Amino acid sequence: MKYIKIKILEIISKVIMENVPFFILLGTLSFFNTEDFVLTYGSLLKNILIPLILSYSAGNFIEKRLGGIAGVIVVGGILNLYQFKSFLMPILVGILVGEVVKYSKKILDKYKYPGYEMLINNILIVVLGTILIKLFYYIYPLYDFIYKIIVENINGFAINIKFYPLYSFIIEPAKVFFLNNLINHGVLSVIGLQELSEKGKSIFFLMETNPGPGLGILTAYLYMNKKNKIKKKNIISNIFIQFIGGIHEVYFPYVLKNLKLIIPLIISGSVGVYIFDKLNLGLLGVASPGSIIMILLLAPIYDKFGIFLGILTSFFISFIIGSIILKMSNKEEKNITKINIPEEVKNKKNIKIVVVCDAGMGSSTMGATLLDRKIKKEKLEEKISVENRSVDDDLNEFDIIVIHEKLVKRIEERSKNKYIVILNDFMDGKVYEELLKNIKNKIDLNENNKEIVNKNITRKIIEKENLAIGLKKATKKEALEDIGKHLYELGYVEKNYINGILNREEISSTYLANGVAVPHGTKEYNKYIKNNGVVIHQYPYGIDYGDGKTVYILIGLAIKGETHIEILEKLSKIIENEDEIENLSITNKEKDFYKILSILED
């Protein structure tokens, strides 16, 4: 099932990230809870609208549109009798309903009749929705019964624990699995209100709402991504939402990506609670949302400094340990192949390097262009030459072969005497820098009779009909098919070229950098190219491109012969500019594309 293959945590993470504005709205309303309208709207949002929205997003993730609609039908039916205790439940219901719709639709598709698809799908949604509502009517009372038993036992157990830092071992892991409302309002607030009547304040109001641990994790991510402007901007936004707005849900997806980060959350949370306990600190009421502003407003005047100290200490501990974990994880994920060029290659007067991809057009040209610029920057252009080729070409003339890890097996037998550099991203500049560093001081200065290819582009590359912006969210396959169809409709290719684009993606990803991918056909599909052409599709909401990559701009290529070199060299310069790509990812103005990409028409 899809949620097992992709990991259910990833689905939950994406659903929450897509709907962060609703959590922000909920938190904002909590600040102004004195007016009848705000109270009524806040209750409507929390108890009905958000569960329906989450179920739609989760169902839509499994089965586009139909799964989302079915999720809303079923969750709406459940809400008719019951109220969800946690936002996690409507997400899980949406996932389950989406799976049922998906597999039911697969069965019906075998017997579909042309012209009746829409009617059959609509009837299917109604029938399945009705059946599942009835099923959940029987299941949900059992869940409610078990939930009450668990909460009552947790309450009793919690009251008897006197060493309060131990709570963090339950609270922090439970929070990242979106059980924060259950923990805070179902357990801690109940105990806190009881203690409030006895002592006038309670430490239990601080245990879950402490924003320090989550702020530390977000800041650690910010530190690790300080050179990536797009990620940096998103993380800074989430820091304000979490710390000032009190919406802790925004950092949960970051932890779900790397569950080792639960460790700094537990340690920092425990230290924070220890400080609160030893200094006899507490709040005068439930801090909802868990914002630094709300916490300090509810803190007794003599407790404010101590509470701030506890939060600050939690932050620093979470940040330091989180940064160490992320740095270690980053090294594991992005381990650069150790490069040790043989002496006989280093001592050559002219070292010939080839960057190899499947078709020898898209990814390899981008990689070769990036490497060539680094060669020129180091003033080694007279000593080292670089080209790009297809994996099926004769590579015997080259001294060093740079190739994607998924293609290595296809050249191993033919290139036993060649030095091979393996990478997993053609736009990973660190690999090229390491390669040049390894050979820089070992080569002779000699004239390099590098042949310069005469490049001519005979038609405009960016025209109005070649551009599609503001496209709705789609799956990777749908987006690739659409860009292939666009090339076909404009007369650049024959229809079979679309299969070449899909086949190319199965061999290795055409993702390059900064949210840009360059899909193109494999070499054997070049025969279906009628005219050289480029089309650009913009997806402002992003496409899940696999391996944790999100693509906002697809640049579809149908180019054969030598003309592809100049086009891709120019494209690579644009893709490397993060500011320009960020603008292209979100703009709704065609003129922005023409202005920035006019370089392709020069």
Q: For residues 353 and 371, is the Cβ–Cβ distance under 8 A?
A: yes
> What was the pLDDT predicted at 314?
95
Pairing of strands 516-517, 550-558: parallel
Question: pLDDT tens digits for 355-397?
Answer: 887 655 556 776 787 888 888 888 888 788 888 887 777 788 8
> What was the pLDDT predicted at 446?
38
Q: Provide the percentage of residues in the chain whose pLDDT is more than 90.
A: 10
- Whether the predicted pLDDT of 195 surpasses 80: no
- Whether the predicted pLDDT of 459 surpasses 50: no
Q: What φ, ψ does residue 588 adopt, rounded to 5°?
A: -110, 15
Instruction: Find the mean pLDDT for residues 209-232.
Output: 85
> What was the pLDDT predicted at 450?
34
- Rounded to a whole number of angstroms, the distance between the first and last alpha carbons of the chain is 50
- In terms of pLDDT, which residue wins out, 253 or 295? 295
Return d(Cα 23, Cα 414) in angstroms, integer: 57
- Whether the predicted pLDDT of 270 surpasses 90: yes
Question: pLDDT tens digits for 304-314?
Answer: 999 999 999 99
> What was the pLDDT predicted at 322?
93
User: Concatenated DSSP letters for 459-474?
Assistant: S-S--GGGEE-SPPP-
Q: For residues 166 and 108, is the Cβ–Cβ distance under 8 A?
A: no
User: Is 357 in the active site?
Assistant: yes
User: Is 537 in the active site?
Assistant: no
> What was the pLDDT predicted at 348?
75
DSSP letter (8 states) at residue 393: S
- In terms of pLDDT, which residue wins out, 368 or 346? 368
- Whether the predicted pLDDT of 257 surpasses 80: no
Q: How confident is the model at residue 2 (pLDDT cuts 50, 70, 90)?
A: very low
- Whether the predicted pLDDT of 334 surpasses 60: no
Q: For residues 208 and 307, is the Cβ–Cβ distance under 8 A?
A: no
- With vertex at residue 197, the alpha carbon angle to CA 191 and CA 203, rounded to the nearest 5 degrees, is 50
- In terms of pLDDT, which residue wins out, 370 or 592? 370
Lowest-confidence segment of 31-40, 228-237, 487-496 by average pLDDT: 31-40
Return d(Cα 128, Cα 122) in angstroms, integer: 10
Closest-CA residue to 407 (of 522, 507, 545, 513):
507
Output the CA–CA distances (angstroms, integers) from residue 356 to 97, 187, 208, 240, 309, in the order listed: 44, 59, 52, 44, 56
Lowest-confidence segment of 88-97, 102-111, 259-268, 590-599 by average pLDDT: 590-599
Q: 499 in helix, strand or coil?
A: helix
Q: How far is CA 501 from the centre of its chain?
A: 23
Q: How confident is the model at residue 456 (pLDDT cuts 50, 70, 90)?
A: very low
- Whether the predicted pLDDT of 586 surpasses 80: no
Question: 357, 404, 486, 537: which is the annotated catalytic residue?
Answer: 357
Question: 404, 486, 520, 537: which is the annotated catalytic residue?
Answer: 520
> What was the pLDDT predicted at 455?
34
Closest-CA residue to 544 (of 535, 557, 554, 555):
554
Lowest-confidence segment of 196-205, 335-344, 531-540, 547-556 by average pLDDT: 335-344
User: Concatenated DSSP letters for 190-226?
Assistant: HHHHHHHHHHSSBTHHHHTT--HHHHHHHHHHHHHTT
Return d(Cα 102, Cα 363) in angstroms, integer: 34
Q: How confident is the model at residue 595 (pLDDT cuts 50, 70, 90)?
A: low
Question: pLDDT tens digits for 498-521?
Answer: 988 998 888 888 888 888 888 988
Closest-CA residue to 556 (of 472, 487, 469, 463):
487
- Whether the predicted pLDDT of 216 surpasses 90: yes
CB contact burial 91-100 (16+ within 10 A = b; e otherwise):
bbbbbbbbbb
- In terms of pLDDT, which residue wins out, 177 or 186? 177
Q: How confident is the model at residue 532 (pLDDT cuts 50, 70, 90)?
A: confident
In terms of average pLDDT, the best of 80-84, 260-264, 578-582 is: 260-264
Question: pLDDT tens digits for 534-566?
Answer: 889 988 878 888 877 888 888 888 887 666 666
Query: CB-side exposure of 384: number of CA atoms within 13 Å?
Result: 29
**Burial grade of 548 (CB within 10 A; 0-12, 13-18, 19 or more):** exposed
In terms of average pLDDT, the best of 31-40, 285-294, 546-555 is: 546-555
Return d(Cα 495, Cα 488) in angstroms, integer: 6
Show the 3-state SS of 427-456: CCHHHHHHHHHHHHHHCCCCCCCCCCCCCC
What integer best gives the mean pLDDT of the chain?
77
Q: For residues 176 and 193, is the Cβ–Cβ distance under 8 A?
A: no
Q: Report residue 26 as tokens.
A: 């909920």
> What was the pLDDT predicted at 307?
93
Return d(Cα 570, Cα 557) in angstroms, integer: 13
Contacts of 127 (CB under 8 A, 6+ apart): none
Q: How confident is the model at residue 458 (pLDDT cuts 50, 70, 90)?
A: very low
Output the CA–CA distances (angstroms, integers) from residue 138 to 45, 131, 237, 357, in the order listed: 26, 11, 42, 56
